[in-house]
């Protein structure tokens, strides 16, 4: 999505149409949100799963 892969702890978003749609709309409205919010969230969640 926008050059970013959705993997690790956020991978399940790919299979939930409603959540995936919300993510797409949010990233379309706020293009910098991936780097500011989603990537740090993914890293924190991945760290708790290890």
pLDDT in tens, the chain (50 residues): 667 778 788 888 889 999 989 888 998 899 888 888 888 888 888 898 76
pTM of the full structure:
0.69
User: What's the confidence (pLDDT) of residue 17?
Assistant: 93
User: What's the confidence (pLDDT) of residue 10?
Assistant: 82
Strand segments, DSSP code E, in 1-50 are: none
Q: Which long-range contacts (CB under 8 A, 24 or more apart) does 45-49 make?
A: 45/8, 45/9, 45/10, 46/8, 46/9, 48/9, 49/8, 49/9
User: What's the confidence (pLDDT) of residue 1?
Assistant: 65
User: What's the confidence (pLDDT) of residue 8?
Assistant: 80
């Amino acid at each position: 999505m926008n050059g970013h892969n959705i993997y690790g702890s956020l991978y399940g978003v790919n299979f939930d149409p409603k959540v995936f749609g919300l993510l797409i709309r949010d990233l379309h409205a706020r293009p910098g949100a991936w780097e500011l919010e989603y990537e740090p969230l993914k890293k924190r969640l991945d760290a708790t799963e290890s």
